[in-house]
Structure 1
């Protein structure tokens, strides 16, 4: 059952009860604790679900827009949403609810003009690599993760989901960033701690991906880590191997039954892009845009578990 003003609400009472204990009471500040966290978090989710400007948030429902925006900026920068997401995954793994046949892909989001009126060094725009090896919430990408691709200014979300289409990790880059080149960084973001003790789980049973990931480097890396690769061969590679005859070597194996499950990631993208603030990027900062995608991922898990 939803609370009063359900037209504006995203979380049910039961869902809110799951994440409220995971939120900071005051964000590390001295003085008074945060007031009415649910009202503010609902405002954050409503803004990204509808894609409206921050200044158009209904004040009577969510309070001052400055409060909602500052809370989202704080939670994005201090890793609050990442910690909540990590804890949700810990609980799901302890209950045996994570399917470790992981699908990986990327989706493009057009960048609205409201997100582009910041300084973006031309040589760095859309680099999309975490060269400092910091947590992704602590680093603002060069060019704010906005790149120029065939569709204009775009951002790309590189995503890994479990076998039932629920998110495990994500990386935001410029739109022109190659999917396969980011696979290692996406897999490095998969880190599910144990509820009691033991090393976090970082290795999927299998990685299911389309032909954009069909390179020898990727196959070798997955083999090195003991991860089954469910990736079809590229047509030009298959043709070149055939031309060489016996010298072309054996084609890589493909588990066709497992590959049929790859569509779970497409279904997740379709679900996530129902949030208009994710389907189109209005945020100037990459960390606040990524934080919105993380909040959407949290909601996906608590709705389905």
Structure 2
């Protein structure tokens, strides 16, 4: 896609693309036809998810054959390309002191379209798949394809962690019926920001800010064991149970109310994510291809930093 293409079809500015393109797989040592115009294909993938159209309906001008865009997306989803791109962008931002490590965690529901659900699934989704960094593809896709039955019917859930400015650090896909708090450890484990210089990747936030779905004692203890500040309000039934136990119930759980005001950044992140119609409604049969689009959107966000 040339620089003269209509902005209607583009999500990357020239400056953003200059940062992202060197991080994509090269053609060196690859058998078969060399990759075509990387920018045209990646813009095609983003356009498909922004608009929510079927792959076959991608405009041939300016995107070329729809099969090329689909196959590239499938390849990048399987080999974790966008995870590696995001890791590099996060590393650069962290080295420049631009990551706010007061992390907000939450989840949002997306309705699964019938095109995503006409596949064999177990009665209960097994939960989250891998983030594709180290495992072969057959071990990355969750058994239930990240689709479960909740009050809204067949749904999928995006569990996300964002920094203090609402920019995504991690994303996990599960069935819509999965409990938010039960996936807290999995979401935090997906935060992995490499160092540009020597040293281990950063994986520990300064604080975790979350709503009452994450208020159980087991989650609080796990966070404190890692030295992470807990900014989560108590549920009313937990307060009543603690009072009934008297001195054995302990004192009130401390809550940094000023820090908790910042929790809405994760809600704003979901609002922006769902401006892409292909993410607001899930059309993908595979959880890994749906998640790859979520991570692509995250890469676009961090390429602006």
Q: Same fold (TM over 0.5)?
A: yes
CA contact (8 A) 2:130 2:141 kept: no
1:222 alignment counterpart: 223
Counterpart Cα distance in 2 of 1:128 and 1:190 = 18
- Counterpart Cα distance in 1 of 2:81 and 2:257: 39
Query: What secondary structure, in the 3-state scheme, does the structure 2 residue paired with 1:35 have?
Result: coil
Contact 2:146 2:174 in 1 (8 A): yes
Q: CA deviation at 1:302?
A: 1.6
Deviation sequence 1:73-119 (CA, Å, 0-9, x none)? 00000111110011000100010000000000000000001111111
Matched, 1:249 2:254: no
Q: Gaps spanning 5+ residues in structure 2: where? A: none
**CA distance in 2 between partners of 1:36 and 1:227 (Å):** 44
Instruction: State the Cα RMSD in Å.
Output: 1.9
Q: Per the alignment, in what secondary structure is the counterpart of residue 250 of structure 1?
A: coil
Change (3 A) 1:257 1:135: farther
Offset of residue 126 of structure 1: 2.1
Give the secondary structure class of the aligned counterpart of 2:230. strand
When structure 1 is superposed on structure 2, of 20-29 and 60-69 the one drifting more is 20-29
> Could you tell me how far apart the structure 2 residues matched to 1:265 and 1:41 are?
26
In the alignment, structure 1 residue 73 sits paired with structure 2 residue 100: no
Partners in 1 of 2:24 and 2:149 — Cα distance? 36
Once the two structures are superposed, residues 9-47 of structure 1 have per-residue CA deviations (whole angstroms, 9 ceiling, x without a partner) of 111111111100001123863144211010000000000
TM-score under structure 2 length normalisation: 0.95
- 1:105–1:179: 8 Å Cα contact kept in structure 2? yes
Instruction: Give 1:114's aligned residue.
Output: 115
Number of residue pairs matched by the alignment = 302
Asked if 1:100 corresponds to 2:101, the answer is yes
- 1:1-305 maps to which residues of 2 (within 5 A)? 3-26=4-27, 29-122=30-123, 125-130=124-129, 135=134, 138=137, 139-303=140-304, 305=305
Conserved 8 A contact 2:155-2:175: yes
Instruction: Give ranges in structure 1 of 5+ residues lacking alignment.
Output: none
Which stretch shifts more, 56-65 or 26-35?
A: 26-35
Q: Give the secondary-structure state (helix, strand or coil) at the position aligned to 2:144.
A: helix
How big is the shift at 1:147? 0.3
Q: CA deviation at 1:247?
A: 3.4
1:243 Cα offset (Å):
3.1
